Amino acid sequence: MSKQLQDKVAIVTGASSGLGKAIAETFAAEGAKVVLAARRKEVLAEITAAINSKGGVALEVAADVTKETDVANLFAEAKRAFGRVDIVVNNAGVASATPVDEISLQYWNEVLAVNLTGPFLMSREAVKVMKAQSPQGGRIINIGSVSQKTPRPDSMAYTATKHALQGMTHQLTMDGRKYGVVASIIHPGATLSSFTARRGRTAPGPGETPADYVMAAEDVARVAVLMCGLPAEVNLYEATILPNNMRSFIGRG
């Protein structure tokens, strides 16, 4: 059986844990050659080794997406190893609950740097590479959040970046069109990850009915596979995926 992403070259940021790790592993299982990027190289090396041991093809590159030199090196390493870049997943992000009146300028700038400047630098480099390669084109997947539509309390900086990321995705789709570069955005709901685990959120047990269930990161990864497995002339521009019982998004009852 053919795999949906056979021989596609994909860069995934924030790949050392949570959703990024799940996307990288799922892409590799679907035949992609995956470049895992994050700041923790030793963790990336373990994940990469595990993927390769299962017959996948993966490479780890330590990178801070807020630094231009790191982003340029990341793409250079991907091209050196695999010759081109077909898919970029902008997943790296930070968040914490902070009341509006306690948000420091330093914290605000840190969140914007990772959640917005990082995707900008990655997307800018992606367009350069995808425009120049032959055949031309590729896909950029931005990881948004349902917080862009229904924010949680004390999340101003995070929510603001997800609104901006929506606009960036729209603009990328317009500006990249003539080069065969398309952009999409996925808005995940409550997902089991290192973020949610630190906040004490776990999947519900039998008979439990918490206000917000959480879904597996692999569920979101399958949406990314669907987007990237479409024909080059087709774009699933936006997708929202969430647990069925995520009442804070759908409504009460």
Q: Any idea which residues carry the catalytic annotation?
A: 158
Q: Which residue type does 134 have?
A: S
Residue 241: CB partners within 8 Å, gap ≥ 6? 186, 187, 188, 189, 215, 219, 220, 223
- Distance, CA of 30 to CA of 100 (rounded, Å): 42
59: which DSSP letter?
A: E
Residue 31: CB partners within 8 Å, gap ≥ 6? 2, 3, 4, 5, 6, 7, 8
Answer whether 186's CB lies under 8 Å from 177's CB: no
Answer whether 142's CB lies under 8 Å from 185's CB: yes
Q: Which residue type does 225 have?
A: V
The helix/strand count (H/E) of the chain reads as 9, 7
Answer whether 174's CB lies under 8 Å from 123's CB: no
